[in-house]
Amino acid sequence: MFDLDPHLLARIQFASNVTFHILFPSLSIALAWFLLFFKSRFMATGAQFWMNAYQFWVKVFALSFALGVVSGITMSFQFGTNWPGFMNTVGNVAGPLLAYEVLTAFFLEATMLGIMLYGRGRVSERIHTLATLLVALGTTGSAFWILALNSWMQTPAGFVMIDGQAHVTNWLEVIFNPSFPYKMTHMLLASGLTGAFMVAGISAYRWLKDDRSEEVVATLRSGVWVAAILIPLQIIAGDAHGLNTLEHQPAKLAAMEGIWETQREVPAVLFAIPDEKTQSNHFEIAIPKLASLYLTHTWDGEVKGLKELGRDHPPVAAVFFAFRLMVGVGLLMLFVSWSAAFMFWRNTALKEWVIKAVYGMTFSGWLALVAGWYVTEVGRQPWLVFGLLRTDDAASLITSGNIELTLVTYLLLYLVLFTSFVTVVFHLAKKAIHPGVNHA
């Protein structure tokens, strides 16, 4: 088909699978907690509209969960087939972490999901709520183990190398490695925002379609408030994470900021086109000294540039633009969620332009999440495990013909499934509309 390097194909295949996969767990984690909230409100107030909200969103949750499971199973095979060098080198670290994910979280959520979806009427309401809680804990627990491994790949700790293999000396240092708290917080907040904007956005869609039921207003309000509370926290967490990256992975940070020269009074580059050949930015628009302020918290702090950090730096443009996309979406989130929250807080009539803006942000969480994920994962290159194992040395040598074939198949499948998910969510929303009931 194409004359492409099998390493590259294996990487594209894995990257596309991870990208597809990450959309759904990140949504499921937040939705599970939203569902627990809706169910608890129903239990506390007895108001049927909370149960309606639960029953609508549990359908979206089930879809998202199923898509996460099937793409996750694919990944559990691809770890071995696409990255044999990974397990050979750091298997003693990665293996137990993955094992604990399956043992403590995956089984729990998958089993309790059955009771959560179909058990109402067969178990008491309390047990049903408990099952919902356990599913939420399971999804969050999965994230814990996976992020422990992922952050360890960014900032490995707690091990020694013997004969080219990592052997663990301290499990607590492995799990709570230097970047773990930042990554875990940043990711969970990102998940929360993804879920909050999805809940608010789909509710806004129904509201715009003339569904003014208590259910829609309640879920719209819940989504908006959660988003409005989480987004400033996320900006703080993101800043802290950036400082952590500056300390441990200066090349990633320099690429994010588009900084080539080591300098004091570093300007914040708003826009530029980074050029790796000339090692400079074209069409740069920057604010003087600002980057020094937010990176070192002084006006004249020094930040190392890519030139000084040597050849082992990530592809600059990809990281640079992905970072700007993430931050841009984040600022939009702040603006839209606060506008809407202000409207709810002042208890004014719901303004149509605000609701439209919320609707427009339905999938904004996914956009920011994937962009942020690319910043951190592409930013780690050329390393698979930072400073320890190069991506090239871990990739597989499966013949490229087989990879091409499976890559095309997977890509088509993901495209169909993603489109189906979005279509079906809107179909469900349309079906659930109770037009003309005005409680707002």
Partner 1 sequence: MPELAIDLTQPMGWLPIIFAGVMALAILAYVILDGFDLGVGILLRLGHDRGQKDQMIATIGPFWDANETWLVLGVGVLLVAFPKAHGVILGALYLPVALMLVGLTLRGVSFDFRVKARPEHRKNWDHAFYAGSLIASWAQGYMLGQLITGFQSSLANVAFGLLIGVFLIYAYRLLGAGWLIIKSVGDLQLRAVQWAKDSLWLTAAGVLAISIATPWVSPRIFHKWFSFPNVIMLMPIPMVTIVLFLVIARSLHRLPSRLALDNEYGAWIPFAATVGVFLLSFYGLGYSLFPWLVIDQLTIWQAASAPEALMVIFYGVLVVFPCIVAYTVYAYRVFLGKSSALEY
Q: Is 436 left (phi over 0), alpha (psi -120 to 50) or beta?
A: left
Nearest to 263 by CA among 288, 296, 297, 300: 300
Taking CB under 8 A as the rule, does residue 176 contact partner 1? Answer: no
Pick out residues in 88-107 that bind partner 1 (CB under 8 A).
88, 91-96, 98-100, 102-104, 106-107
> Using CA atoms, how far apart are residues 251 and 154, in angstroms rounded to an integer?
12
Out of 16, 19, 55, 391, the residue judged to bind partner 1 by CB under 8 A: 55
Select 116 or 358, whichever has its Cβ closest to partner 1.
Answer: 116
> Using CA atoms, how far apart are residues 283 and 296, in angstroms rounded to an integer?
25
> In the complex, what is the shortest distance from the CB of residue 412 to partner 1, in angstroms, rounded to a whole number?
10
Residue 302 phi/psi, 5-degree rounding, is -90, 135
Total number of residues binding partner 1 (CB under 8 A)? 68
Out of 4, 167, 210, 408, the residue judged to bind partner 1 by CB under 8 A: 167
Out of 48, 76, 348, 419, the residue judged to bind partner 1 by CB under 8 A: 76
Taking CB under 8 A as the rule, does residue 406 contact partner 1? Answer: yes
> Using CA atoms, how far apart are residues 30 and 401, in angstroms rounded to an integer?
39
Q: Contact region for partner 1 (CB under 8 A) — 215-223, 246-254, 301-309, 417-425?
A: 417-425
> In the complex, what is the shortest distance from the CB of residue 109 to partner 1, in angstroms, rounded to a whole number?
8
List of residues 6+ apart from 182 with CB closer than 8 A: 151, 237, 240, 241, 244
Question: CA end-to-end span of the chain, whole Å?
Answer: 58
The token pair at 101 is: 């994910």
Which H or E run includes 218?
helix 214-248
Torsional sign, CA 26, 28, 32, 37: positive
Burial 384-405 (b: 16+ CB within 10 A, else e): bbbeebebeebbbebebeebbe
| Cα 182 to the center of its chain, rounded Å | 13
Taking CB under 8 A as the rule, does residue 47 contact partner 1? Answer: no
Select 54 or 359, whichever has its Cβ closest to partner 1.
Answer: 54
Select 40 or 406, whichever has its Cβ closest to partner 1.
Answer: 406
Contact pattern from residue 115 through residue 154 relative to partner 1, giving x for each residue in contact according to CB under 8 A and a dash for the rest: x-xxxxxxx-------------------------------
Q: Contact region for partner 1 (CB under 8 A) — 34-42, 71-79, 191-199, 299-307?
A: 71-79
The token pair at 38 is: 């809706």
> In the complex, what is the shortest distance from the CB of residue 74 to partner 1, in angstroms, rounded to a whole number?
5
CA angle 154, 159, 163 (to 5 degrees): 105
Q: Contact region for partner 1 (CB under 8 A) — 271-279, 337-345, 361-369, 418-426?
A: 418-426
Alpha carbons within 13 A on the beta-carbon side of 306: 27
Taking CB under 8 A as the rule, does residue 171 contact partner 1? Answer: yes
Out of 72, 195, 267, 372, the residue judged to bind partner 1 by CB under 8 A: 72
* Strand positions, DSSP E, 191-334: 268-275, 280-287
* Strand positions, DSSP E, 171-248: none
Taking CB under 8 A as the rule, does residue 67 contact partner 1? Answer: yes
Q: Which of 126-131's residues contact partners 24+ apart within 8 Å by CB, and which partners?
A: 128/39, 129/36, 129/39, 129/40, 129/43
Select 75 or 332, whichever has its Cβ closest to partner 1.
Answer: 75
Pick out residues in 283-342 that bind partner 1 (CB under 8 A).
none
Out of 12, 43, 51, 108, the residue judged to bind partner 1 by CB under 8 A: 108
Taking CB under 8 A as the rule, does residue 410 contact partner 1? Answer: yes
Select 160 or 349, whichever has its Cβ closest to partner 1.
Answer: 160
Taking CB under 8 A as the rule, does residue 73 contact partner 1? Answer: yes
- Read off the DSSP letter of residue 101: I
Q: Contact region for partner 1 (CB under 8 A) — 37-45, 250-258, 313-321, 409-417?
A: 409-417
Taking CB under 8 A as the rule, does residue 70 contact partner 1? Answer: yes
Q: Using an 8 Å Cβ cutoff, are 17 and 78 in contact?
A: yes
> In the complex, what is the shortest distance from the CB of residue 83 to partner 1, in angstroms, rounded to a whole number?
10
> In the complex, what is the shortest distance from the CB of residue 324 to partner 1, in angstroms, rounded to a whole number?
34
Q: Which residues of the chain form contacts with partner 1 (CB under 8 A)? A: 55, 58-59, 62-63, 65-67, 69-74, 76-77, 79-81, 84, 87-88, 91-96, 98-100, 102-104, 106-108, 110-115, 117-123, 165, 167-168, 171, 396, 398, 402, 405-406, 409-410, 413, 417, 420, 423-424, 427-428
